[in-house]
Amino acid sequence: MDILGSFALLLAFLAAVYAFGAGIVGAVTRRPLVTKSARNAGMAVFVLVTLTVGILEYFFLTNNFSVSYVVTHSNSALPWYYKIAALWAGQEGSLLFWSWLLSIYAFLVLFLNRKKHPELMPYTGVTLAGVQIFFLTLNNFVASPFSVIATSGTGGTQTLAMLSEGKGLNALLQYPEMVIHPPMLYLGYTGFTVPFAFAMAALLGRYPGEKWIHITRRWTMVAWCFQSVGILLGAHWAYAVLGWGGYWAWDPVENASLLPWITGTAFLHSVMMQEKRGMMKVWNVWLVFVTFMLCILGTSLTRSGIVSSVHAFAQSSIGNWFGGFLALILLVCLAAWWKNRDYLRSDNRLDSMVSRESSFLFNNLILLAACFAVLWGTLFPVLSEWFTGSKISVGPPFFNKVNVPIALFLLFLTGVGPLLAWRKTSFDALKRNFAWPLLGGVLAGVAAFIGGFRDVYSLICWVLSVFVTLTIASEFLRGALVIASRDGSNLVTAIGELTMRNTRRYGGYVVHFGMVLIFIGIAGIPFNRDVEKEMHPGDTLQIGKYLLLCQNFDHVENNNYGADRATIEVFKDGKSEMMLYPERRLFKTSQVTETKVAIQSSPLRDLYVVYAGQSPETGAPVIHAYLNPLVKWIWFGGIVVVLGTLLALLPNRRAAIVLKPVAETSWGGAVADGLPAAVQSVVRRVGSSE
Partner 1 sequence: MKAGNKFAIGSIIIVVTLLALAYVGFTQSKTYYHTITELTTLRGSALHERMRVSGNVRAGSIEHMPGRIDFVLTEQGKDLTVSYVGRDPLPDTFKDGSQALVEGKMMPDNRFVAEQVQAKCASKYEAVPDAAPVTNAPQAQPSAPGGQTSTGATTQPSGN
Read off the DSSP letter of residue 686. H
The interface with partner 1 within residues 136-155 (CB under 8 A) comprises: 140-144, 146-152
Among positions 116, 345, 349, 486, the unique one binding partner 1 when judged by CB under 8 A: 349
Part of the chain binding partner 1 (CB under 8 A), chosen from 19-27, 352-360, 562-570, 664-672: 352-360
Read off the DSSP letter of residue 652. P
The candidate with the shortest Cα–Cα distance to 611, out of 564, 574, 646, is: 564
The interface with partner 1 within residues 617-656 (CB under 8 A) comprises: 617, 622, 624
The candidate with the shortest Cα–Cα distance to 189, out of 283, 303, 86, 273, is: 303
594 binds partner 1 (CB under 8 A): yes
6 binds partner 1 (CB under 8 A): yes
Say how many Å lie between the first and final Cα of the chain, rounded: 55
Among positions 180, 326, 332, 394, the unique one binding partner 1 when judged by CB under 8 A: 394
Map residues 152-191 to x or -, x wherever contact with partner 1 holds by CB under 8 A. x-----x-xx-x---x--x-x-------------------
The interface with partner 1 within residues 432-451 (CB under 8 A) comprises: none
Would you say 209 or 324 has its CB closer to partner 1? 324
Among positions 592, 620, 646, 675, the unique one binding partner 1 when judged by CB under 8 A: 592
| Cα 184 to the center of its chain, rounded Å | 6
Would you say 364 or 493 has its CB closer to partner 1? 364
Part of the chain binding partner 1 (CB under 8 A), chosen from 7-15, 462-470, 473-481, 642-650: 7-15
Q: Residue 657 and residue 663: Cα distance in Å, rounded? A: 10
Q: How far is CA 82 from CA 85, 87, 427, 584, in A?
A: 5, 9, 59, 19
Q: How far is CA 11 from CA 58, 369, 665, in A?
A: 20, 43, 42
The CB density around residue 245, as the number of other CB atoms within 10 Å, is 19
Part of the chain binding partner 1 (CB under 8 A), chosen from 78-86, 393-401, 487-495, 505-513: 393-401
Residue 590 C-beta: closest distance to partner 1, Å: 6
Residue 370 C-beta: closest distance to partner 1, Å: 9
The candidate with the shortest Cα–Cα distance to 96, out of 57, 126, 63, is: 57
Residue 238 C-beta: closest distance to partner 1, Å: 14
**Residues making up the chain, counted from first to last:** 690
Q: Residue 539 and residue 534: Cα distance in Å, rounded? A: 9
Part of the chain binding partner 1 (CB under 8 A), chosen from 334-342, 395-403, 511-519, 567-575: 395-403
Residue type, 408: L
Task: Kindly determine how many residues on this chain lie close enough to bind partner 1 according to the rule CB under 8 A.
Answer: 87
402 binds partner 1 (CB under 8 A): yes
Q: Residue 49 and residue 56: Cα distance in Å, rounded? A: 11
Residue 73 C-beta: closest distance to partner 1, Å: 9
CB 483 within 8 A of CB 498: yes
The interface with partner 1 within residues 409-428 (CB under 8 A) comprises: 409
Dihedral, 405, 409, 410, 413 alpha carbons, nearest 10: 180
Q: Residue 516 and residue 639: Cα distance in Å, rounded? A: 12
The candidate with the shortest Cα–Cα distance to 326, out of 134, 42, 94, is: 134
383 binds partner 1 (CB under 8 A): no
Part of the chain binding partner 1 (CB under 8 A), chosen from 86-94, 176-184, 271-279, 328-336: 86-94
Among positions 118, 328, 351, 478, the unique one binding partner 1 when judged by CB under 8 A: 351
Would you say 400 or 528 has its CB closer to partner 1? 400
Map residues 514-543 to x or -, x wherever contact with partner 1 holds by CB under 8 A. ------------------x-----------
51 binds partner 1 (CB under 8 A): no
